[in-house]
Amino acid sequence: MKKKSLLLTELAADLVAFGKKNGADETEISIIDGYEFRVDVRFGEIENLLEAGSRYLSFRVIKDKKTAFASSSDLSLKTLQHLLKKSIKRAVLANPDECSGLPPLSSQKINIPSLKLYDPEILKLSSEKKIAWAKETEKIALQDKRITNSHGSSFETNEIKFILANSNGFLDEFDQTLCSFSLGLQAGETDSRVEDFWFSTKRHFHELESAEEVAKKAIERTVRQLRPRKIRTQKVPVIFEPMMTSWLMGFLFSCVSGISIYQKSSFLINKLGKRIGNEKVTVFDDGLLPGKLGSKPFDSEGVPCQKTSVIERGILKNYLCNTYAARKLKLKSTGNAAGTSMSPHNFYLQPGNQTPKEIISSLDKGLILIRTLGHGLNPVTGDISRGAFGLWVEKGEIAYPVSEITISGNLGDILNRIDLVGNDLDFYTPLAGPTIKIQDLTVAGL
Amino acid sequence: MKEKRIPQPLVFEDYFQLNKADLQKILSISLSKGGDFSELFLEYKIYNFINMEEDIIKETAESINLGLGIRVLSGEKTGYGYTNDLSFSKIKKAALTAAAIAVSPSRKIASDLASPPLRHNFYPVLDPPHRESLEEKISLVKRAYLAAQKADSRIEKVKVSLQDQIQYLTAVNSEGLMISDTRPMYKLICFAIAKKKDRRDSGFSGGGGRVGTEYFAQELTPEEIGAKAAEEALNLLEAVEAPAGEVPVILAPGYSGVLIHEAVGHLLEADFIRKKTSIFWDKMGKKLGNSQLNIYDDPTIPHFRGSYNIDDEGTIPQKTLLIEKGVIKGFLQDRLSAKLLKMPLTGHGRRQDYTHIPIPRMSNTYIDQGEYDPAEIIKSVKKGFYAEKYQGGQVEDSGKFTFSVSSGYLVEEGRLTAPVKQATLIGSNIDILEKIEMVGSDLKFGLQTGTCGKEGQEAPVTDGCPTIKIAKMTVGGRK
């Protein structure tokens, strides 16, 4: 592991003491010390090359159950002390809130090295190598005659240190690394172009997909959309590819987040312990999967991360909470705090037994959803309405691509109508899920 | 109205402890490897936030952003470094990082710095947000909250937040330019949820822009914002499912500007043009739409959220004609694209903050008004969809776009009838331009609350349009 950054750790601890001295009942200081490298390559030439280190300090003070937040990229002691004093004065102008306040100090401590968040290899990669990989990826794609233009490829590495100190005696830090490959392509002539991209993001360099794999997937994802047709408006079974299940999980996360629940802005309020989906639906949020993108030892308030069962065989088991939402709902924090809001850890739909191929074969007539465009998610009602791209399936075989369609439905209905769950779970992003088949959705076209 | 200018502080001296000679030195370090052009972007930003929900002022926040970005151009390549540690050694390191993009034996020398005076100010304000007291800001929040809450007994939940910001920036470059801007911003938004039996729906409204506190007395009161959010939530309680399939679509004036932002604006941003990824790259001078169609992007509209006195590369911005009588006439340029396309600058190089490279962006984009009476447009549709408010939109370079309608109406026999909920409109841009049949005489702008995202960078924008009729468009409802 990296050496502890004594100066920043001391700064955090000193500011906690400064808060107390200046009248704050509770003080929380967090510091992010980051480094980023990114190269964008297009048609074999470097487009952008960026490298920088930066630090950011955030804090929360509570006085008489009243809360104020502040943050600064200027880490000079003078600025920070001034900001902290001002915040204590500002807190007084808010209203008291019984649920405010820091979490109590937990006796539980996650073993940080066991989470495998940090790969020292990533920092040893030379800029030349990273540039060469980005070039190589795009070069492979451009050799394919069907590819007519490139959005370019990028290689990115990040190293982030997170330090947290609070007046309940918490003081800890952890380091994490990320590396990422991406490539965007177009195929077809100017007026009938299709486009897509592929990427691989990992904490460990040796887990990253190779240039060949990224290029191959980006090509395949792009060219399979060539010469799309329009279809009539109809209700048909829809298969979600894993990346589509992933956005569905993102929407589900926002609907089971304790903040949405106490704010009554989720269709899942008052549903704890009740059936919200069929037997095939089991969802976990797991912050402790070694090496995965959403894993962490503790959240932004210092609450240890955990594996939380969200939905078990269709029954809603837990809302995800930070300390505040937990107090509001009289539940326990699940360690999902992220600043003033919340974030998922590895939030995923439990895989089933079928291969994606078997799922497609089972479809007599329907749509494979491959991409969506736009917003159109309403957590208050669960309604979904999005622009979509897909592949039309007839008699278990992919027949042709379709575009300029929209899909619409309701997350509550979808959770009750998932009838097949694939075995192809992969954590491309912290929100993940395998291929799934939904009994039917409205697909609007002509 | 008495108008006071915000004093233009010399940010690099006040906050960066750097003088002109220091800046000159940093520029020469950044050109030391043979770059063609280098630029420093110095930024100091103070942001405040107040949040009210469950009848209490729940929290306030303040954030300070101070930093320096250094960019070097070498042909088509960009090198970039930034730092928020303003010690000379860290700044030098960032300059050398950016410099490394170039490998050329020739050494350009940075010109002597001169500061041209700014002769315009698109956002003169009486009471700039950063000088306003927290008590006064809290009272704006409470007024909006109460207005929404008291609007109707079916309002179950209200949330109001006020954000304000003051951004001081200075752009300095190796061509000798040194220019500063001070940009105020207010944004007051209200979110309301209405409940009737088991059904709940949400409404949203807001206002602001590059304005002072006087805006909330003169232009749009917090009470109006609260009442509008409540009204939208209440309307949606009665809403029916949207139709599904291809139907004639009428776009309501104002909010529907998001269509032009997505379907046209993005793909006229010059980076997509020079990379030939935009479907418009080979269409300059070509007629794509109805002769009634005139589209502009104008960063100089007073007090608008998307406006600026200089862009983030220090260029004086211009009202830019994009489409005239249906013919493509212009692109939105930043320095790099203008140079590579050999076209004049338009002042549309923008960046989220000092950690980002500037790219061509929209500011305030709109379809200019046409001749049709809006009532006549509605009358012309027998059966169709009237799109009123939106959650947002998205486009890809190939021209496929969607936008999410949060509320609208059915059109039956030339009249607006039942309110309609959540639907998505989808189309491809060239097709839609061809299908615009009537342009109304009632140009309006949408809310002064919009933010556009591109390549991971956010920028405040507005958009606008008059009532518009599109002959046919795919509406993704469930009926």
What are B220-252's pLDDT values in tens digits?
Answer: 999 999 999 999 999 999 898 888 888 999 999
How far apart CA A330 and CA A82 sit, in angstroms, is 36
Residue to test with chain B: of A380, A389, A403, most B Cβ within 10 A: A380
Q: How far apart are the first and last CA of chain B?
A: 52
pLDDT at A346: 98
A71 domain residue, yes or no: yes
Of A347, A405, A401, whose CA–CA distance to A374 is shortest? A405
Please tell me what DSSP assigns to residue B275.
T
Of B101, B92, B81, B87, nearest in space to B41 by CA: B81
| Beta-carbon separation of A406 and B474 below 8 A | yes
Contacts of B158 in chain A (CB under 8 A): none
CB contact under 8 Å between B427 and A71, yes or no, is no
Higher pLDDT, A50 or B423: A50
Burial A297-336, CB ≥16 within 10 A → b, else e = bbbbbbbbbbebebbbebbbbbbbbbbbbbbbbebebbbb
Domain boundary among A194, A223, A252: A223
Q: Which residues of B touch A385 (CB under 8 A)?
A: 242, 404, 422-424, 476-477
This prediction has a pTM of 0.91
Q: Is there a single domain that holds both residue A194 and residue A274?
A: no
Contact B440, B370 (CB under 8 A): yes
Beta-sheet pairing, A436-444 with A234-240: antiparallel
What is the radius of gyration, based on Cα positions, of chain A?
A: 24
- Tokens coding B375: 């009532």
Task: Please tell me the distance from the alpha carbon of residue B227 to that of residue B150, in angstroms, as a whole number.
Answer: 9
> How confident is the model at residue B3, as a pLDDT?
46
Average pLDDT on B334-354 reads 97
Q: Which residues pair with A373 in a beta bridge?
A: A387
Last residue of a domain, one of A204, A223, A242: A223
Which chain A residue lies closest to B425 (C-alpha atoms)? Answer: A387
B70 → chain A, closest CA residue: A50
Please name the residues in contact with A293: beta carbons below 8 A apart, sequence gap of 6 or more: A178, A201, A202, A203, A346, A427, A429, A430
Looking at residue A446, what is its pLDDT? Answer: 80
Give the pLDDT band of residue B4 (cuts 50, 70, 90): very low
Mean pLDDT, to the nearest integer, of B43-62? 94
CATH code for position A143: 3.30.2290.10
Domain shared by A155 and A58, yes or no: yes
In this complex, is the C-beta atom of A380 within 8 Å of any C-beta atom belonging to chain B?
A: yes
Considering the domain architecture, whether residues A184 and A70 belong to the same structural domain is answered as yes
Residue type, position A42, single letter:
R
Q: How far apart are CA A334 and CA A336, in angstroms?
A: 6
| Residue A86 at interface with chain B, using a CB cutoff of 8 Å | yes
Q: Residue B105: is its pLDDT beyond 80?
A: no
**Which of B212, B221, B81, B197 has the alpha carbon at shortest distance from B142?**
B221
Q: A77 and chain B: CB distance < 8 Å anywhere?
A: no
What's the whole-number mean pLDDT along residues B417-421? 89
Q: Are residues A198 and A211 in the same domain?
A: yes
In a domain, A351, yes or no: yes
Using alpha carbons only, what angle is made at residue A360 by residues A358 and A364, rounded to the nearest 5 degrees? 115
Tell if the CB–CB gap between B67 and A194 is shorter than 8 Å.
no
The yes-or-no verdict on residue B398 having pLDDT over 90 is no
Q: Please list every residue in chain B whose beta carbon sits closer than 8 Å to the beta carbon of residue A70.
A: 61-64
DSSP state of B268: G
Say whether both A205 and A271 belong to one domain: no
On the question of pLDDT at B1 being above 60, the answer is no
Beta bridge partners of B171: B41, B179
Q: Indicate whether A304 and A320 sit together in one domain.
A: yes
Q: Which residue has the higher pLDDT, B425 or A400?
A: A400
Query: A172 and A279 in one domain?
Result: no
Model pLDDT, residue B10? 58
Q: How far is CA A60 from CA A22, A106, A241, A301, B309, in A?
A: 14, 19, 41, 10, 35
* Residues of B whose CB is below 8 A from A61: none
- The pLDDT profile of chain A, 446 residues, written as one tens digit per residue, is 445 566 899 999 999 999 999 999 999 999 999 999 999 999 999 999 999 999 999 999 999 999 999 999 999 899 999 999 999 999 999 999 999 999 999 999 999 999 999 999 999 999 999 999 999 999 999 999 999 999 999 999 999 999 999 999 999 999 999 999 999 999 998 778 899 999 999 999 999 999 999 999 999 999 999 999 989 999 999 999 999 999 999 999 999 999 999 998 899 999 999 999 999 999 999 999 999 999 999 999 999 999 999 999 999 999 999 999 999 999 999 999 999 899 999 999 999 999 999 999 999 999 999 999 887 788 989 999 888 999 999 999 999 999 888 898 999 999 999 999 999 999 999 999 999 999 999 998 88
The pLDDT of residue B9: 56
CB B73 within 8 A of CB B36: yes
Strand partners, A411: none
Angle between helices B134-150 and A77-93 (to 10 degrees): 40
Count the neighbouring beta carbons within 10 Å of the beta carbon of residue B134: 18
Indicate the residue of B134, B157, B402 with minimum beta-carbon distance to A373: B402
- Going from the N-terminus, what domains does chain B have, and what CATH number goes with each? 11-237 (3.30.2290.10), 244-476 (no CATH)
Tell me what percent of chain B is helix, strand and coil, each rounded to the nearest 5.
20, 40, 40
CA distance A47 to chain B (A): 5
Chain A residues 292-351 with a CB less than 8 Å from chain B: 340
Please indicate whether, in this complex, the C-beta atoms of B478 and A408 are within 8 angstroms of each other.
Answer: yes
Which residues in chain A touch residue B201, judged by CB atoms under 8 angstroms apart?
380-381
Q: Which residue do the tokens 């979110």 mark?
A: B191
| A240 and A373 within one domain | yes
Is pLDDT of B269 > 60? yes
Q: CA-nearest residue of chain B to A191? A: B279
Q: pLDDT grade, residue B86 (50/70/90)?
A: confident
Q: In what order do the strands lie in the sheet with B364-367?
A: B327-328, B320-324, B295-297, B364-367, B462-465, B444-445
Q: Over 90: is that where the pLDDT of B152 sits?
A: yes
CB of A387 within 8 Å of any CB in chain B? yes
- The residue from A165, A198, A223 where one domain ends is A223
Total Cβ atoms within 10 A of residue B382: 10
Q: Do A275 and A170 share a structural domain?
A: no
pLDDT score of B244: 83
Q: Name the E strands within A168-312.
A: 171-187, 194-202, 234-240, 283-286, 307-312
SS3 B34: coil
What is the DSSP annotation of B131-185? GS-HHHHHHHHHHHHHHHHHT-TTEEEEEEEEEEEEEEEEEEETTSBEEEEEEEE
Among A406, A396, A392, which Cα is nearest to A441's? Answer: A406
* Residue A375 resides in a domain: yes
Q: A434 is written with which tokens?
A: 């395998």
A196 chain-B contacts, CB cut-off 8 A:
none
B351's CB contacts (< 8 A; 6+ apart) are B41, B69, B312, B357, B358, B359, B457
DSSP state of A80: H
- Cβ-based contacts of A52 with chain B (< 8 Å): 80-83, 94, 97, 355
Q: How far apart are CA A415 and CA A424, in angstroms?
A: 19
Residue A29 counted as domain residue: yes
A278 and A378 both lie in a single domain: yes
> DSSP label at A23?
T
Are A58 and A192 in contact, with CB atoms under 8 Å apart? Answer: no
Q: To the nearest whole angstrom, how far is the Cα of B477 from the nearest Cα of chain A?
A: 6
**A101 part of contact set with chain B, CB < 8 Å:** no
The yes-or-no verdict on residue B11 having pLDDT over 70 is: no
Whose structure tokens read 């993009």? B101
- A99 — contact with chain B (CB < 8 Å)? no
Among the partner-chain residues A70, A97, A404, the one whose CB lies closest to the CB of B56 is A97
User: Do the Cβ atoms of B62 and A408 come within 8 Å?
Assistant: no
Say how far apart CA B334 and CA A396 lie, in whole Å.
50
Using CA atoms, how far apart are residues A308 and A292, in angstroms rounded to an integer? 16
User: CA–CA separation, B242 vs A385, rounded Å?
Assistant: 10
How large is the average pLDDT for residues B95-124? Answer: 86
Is A257 found in the same domain as A143? no
- Total residue count of chain A as it appears in this document: 446
CB contact under 8 A, A194 and B398: yes
Instruction: Number of A to B CB contacts under 8 A, please give it.
Output: 240
Number of domains in chain A: 2
> By CB neighbour count within 10 A (0-12 exposed, 13-18 middle, 19+ buried), where does B50 fall?
buried
In the predicted model, is pLDDT for residue B2 greater than 50? no
Neighbouring-strand partners of residue B395: B401
Pairing between β-strand B155-173 and β-strand B244-251 as defined by DSSP bridges: unpaired
Closest by Cα among B340, B327, B322 to B269: B322
In angstroms, the CA B60 to CA B50 distance is: 4
Q: What angle do CA A251, A255, A259 make, to 5 degrees?
A: 125
Range(s) of the domain holding residue A216: 6-223
A67 touches chain B (CB under 8 A): yes
**Element (DSSP H or E) covering residue B433:** helix B429-435
| Residue A1 within a domain | no
Q: Do A49 and B56 touch (CB under 8 A)?
A: no
Distance CA A364, CA A237 (A): 9
Tokens standing for residue B329: 């006439």
CB A159 within 8 A of CB A177: yes
Check whether residue A441 and residue A397 sit in a common domain. Answer: yes
With a CB cutoff of 8 Å and minimum separation 6, the contacts of A405 are A230, A231, A367, A387, A388, A389, A390, A443, A444, A445, B426, B474, B476
Interface of A with B in 160-189 (CB under 8 A): 186
- Contact between B235 and B203 under an 8 Å Cβ cutoff? The reply is yes
Residue B98: closest C-alpha in chain A: A50
Furthest C-alpha separation in chain A = 73
ipTM attached to this prediction = 0.88
Cα dihedral B318, B322, B328, B332 sign:
positive
Structure token pair of residue B462: 């507005």
Check CB contact under 8 Å for A374 and B422.
no
- Nearest-10 crossing angle of helices B134-150, B222-237: 30
